[in-house]
Structure 1
Amino acid sequence: MVDRETTKEELLDELAQLRQRFQELEQREKQYRQQEQALREREEWARLAIQVGRLGGWRLCLDTNCVEIDQRMREIWGEPEDTVLIPLPKVLERIHPDDRERVAAAVNAAIDPQSSGTYEIEYRLVWKDGTERWVLANGQAQFEGEGGSRRTVNFFGTALDITDRKQMETALIAQEQRYRYIFEAVGVSIWEEDFSEVKAAIDQLKTSGVQDFRQYFTEHPEFVQRAVEMVRLRDVNQASLLLFGAQTKAELLHSLPQIFTPETREAFIEELLAIATGRTQFATETVLQTLQGQQLQVWFSITFPPPSESYERVIVSLLDITERKQTEKALKRYQLLSEHSRDIVLYIRRDGQILEANQAAVNAYGYSRAELLSRTISDLRSPETYSSLNAQFSQAYQRGILFETVHRRQDGSSFPVEVSAQSTVTETEAVILSIIRDISERKQVEAEREYLLRCEQSARLAAESAERRAQFIAEAGTVLNSSLEYQSTLSSVAQLVVPTLADWCAVDILNAGGSLERLATAHIDSAKVEWGIELHRRYPPI
């Protein structure tokens, strides 16, 4: 009985243990199912992320040295639908020659067992039709083992077509380069300034209830002075250095208060009012001074961004109108002079309309004065010169220009002219003062001179050619008289002929057997003499 009771208890204990193990297995299976579900969800998220991100997948099979690619990779690489494996050498061949070595080095570095296995690179891919695409590739190598036994077991990753991004980057770089080129090359003084602190200070005044800013700036000159000090100069162009007499940009960028005058302060208050009222442009005439204290009369123009945008890059342009102002004072004196000038004098508006013409213009073009004032400058230009008109007109406004062109009379005939054009300001507007001289006689003299020069050059060339021929005959005579051994003499003659008379020379004689025998061969390129000998050997003259 005791043994039977003991056995029963053992069975009950074993049953309880089995029940506990079964519950643990159920719990573990439940955890596995949860983990499996989580894994499937993560895989689905990853798949969706790859799909949304237009990522292609790839894997380098280390045992076959082939790259396995998915559908998106086939699209990126321009491969057929049935392509799955591509040998690694073929993959490298498809990479742009300038990037190929760099990509190969990055792959080798990533699969090195002693590396971290990380792979990230941008490169250009060349499609079979010659199209270039930019690709961003990311990858990770997997390793097994430690130390010296560590080895690479897998290398996989993704690729993203970034051609559009690269094109945008290239366009932005080109745009920035164009901006910088224009900024530096233009003949107008340009300043790039940071008004963000000034904008913030004015916004704070608005918040505090200030409404009449003109009155406020008048009553608080200290705010205006602080605003001047708040402006940060970011950059200036070369024209600005020349205009203000600065040696370096750094010198001018720290000299804003030094170039201010009382008139400049009034213009600056108008700038502050433009910011306060949300205007994006403001222009006026004002007075500045160089670092040496010389006054400059300038046309000041500033462009602000919309009030909602950053004021960190505000463009200011300064056009030196000092000479133009001085010209205005003398313009009336010149009007009398122009009427008695033999040169054509025209005053031309910015749109090309002729505003004024002197008597010489009436005589030269065959129009009455009223007819001239109803026409534009393009009406006086010969059609073949239209393409350059806008550029010349623009340069005349900016800094003046001297050029030659062709003008046309009322009867359709044309005549060459030299034009000196300069922007000036009348009482009402900026105009072009154009002084035009008929250079028909000068052109005729130049043509005759060119003809005589060509004749002289032809005569000189003929004389030099005759001299070379005489020299050759003399040298040939010397060679022929130098030796009685005809083979040596004829070989010397062949060498003399090249290159005086020809690029190559061959001398053949009729031997006793009645056939031609090659005695000498000469060529301007000594390396090709053997070619001539071989050509004669293979194809002897009949």
Structure 2
Amino acid sequence: MKREPTTPESALGPASTAASADLFPIFQLTPVPLWLEDWSGIRRLVDQWRKDGMTDPAAFLAADPARVRASMEAIRIIEVNAATLRLFEARDTAELVGRLADVFQGAMVESHREEIVQIAGGAAEFSSQAVNHTLSGRRLDIQLKGRILPGYEASWERVLIATEDVTERERARRGLAESEAYAMGLFENSPVSLWVEDFSAIRELLEDVRATGVADFRIFLDVHPEFITRCMSEIRVVAVNRQTLGTFRADRFETLLSRLGDVFRDQMVHPFKEQLVDLWNSRLFQSREVVNYSLDGEEMHFVMQFSVLPGHEADWSLVQIALTDITARKKAEAYLEYLGKHDVLTKLYNRSFYNDELNRIERRKTETFSVLVADLNGLKSLNDQLGHAAGDTLLRRAGEVLAEAVRAPWTAARIGGDEFTVLMPGATLAEATSLMNSITELCEVNNQFYPGADLSLAMGVATLLPGERLEDLMRRADLLMYEVKRRFYETSGADRRGLPL
């Protein structure tokens, strides 16, 4: 940019000298920073560009940045007012014009392009936002507004430009944008599943129920379980983070949104009922274990942290839910619980469960109760001859047979090395005998599918007599089983140790 010395009268335009003299003090005393510039050089460039075929100023200037720089160099600064000198920390106009390179540090090209696009389109006014710097180097965010003065519409020889310092506003805006970006970064990159949801429809449903005079909401839900399902269907998901998509096996947010019915179902109903009860009682911050489902059908366990976001307590239109995945922990707990009640080798119940179940049955004083006791034939000789791996295989096969034959409420348990029992509450002697025959048949079927040693069980059944203790019942069943086992070894030609008789 260049500057030519001018007098106040010539600077202000074609008005009379007296009028110009009157206007010049107003220009200087205006508290808004003002620049008076000559854009006639830009007008000549625009006319030439049109001759060169410019029809779309924006595309034309974007195609060659040198055109914008040529336009900037064609500007002549005629005068600035005192407010401009103060804003840019200049002693006088000469110093400011002499150091324009410090004021416009390469950040003016884009904003000046917008100005040319506006004025080349026929507008007498234009505006833009730019970054300038004071002579001391301080950043200034500038809101610029320009106008071709009346009488100069053809030549653009006089353009008045007002520059408003919007540094604080822009600093606040950038700070807000940075805060939003930081918050969004925390949301998107959180290692737990985060959901932002709209519960306003659920709140309205609860208020409708309250308006009917319902006092005990929990009883209401017990009587109207469909209300829980209705509320579940009214959950509106606003946003989820990246971890959520990965956790629930969704390729994108829209996919998850379209299949919420697959996520919120079955075992989620009970914890969601408790969540509704808490909301009914104005507990807007909650924590509990919940069950959801991934899109591929996996049951997933979470610790849910639920909170209505500040400012939305009146309508629940924005709530945040954090889900910490505890599925692995739940599986480990279930497995430990399973190990506490089951025999690892046969997958049947173990002796600990058997003792607890026997005590429970005795406390209930079941009127009809039968028991089956079984002992695996030939296990000792098989272990001695082929090793314990072969014996373990035979035990597993016994577990398969008993698991197939026994159905709830009856339970089969391995209570010793080769000893098994079936507890049969409610079973008559005929039913117990029928079960024993079914087990024998299943052993024969099992032998057809496995090579090597045959699976054979010595079994005895007994039914509880009036006034008889369970301990005596078990002893009677044992004696019957041992009699069967004795006959087995007598007919097989081997003793229990696998030695010839």
TM-score of the aligned structures, taking structure 1 as reference length? 0.44
Higher relative contact order (CA 8 A, sep 6+): 2
* Structure with more strand by fraction: 1
TM-score of the aligned structures, taking structure 2 as reference length? 0.47
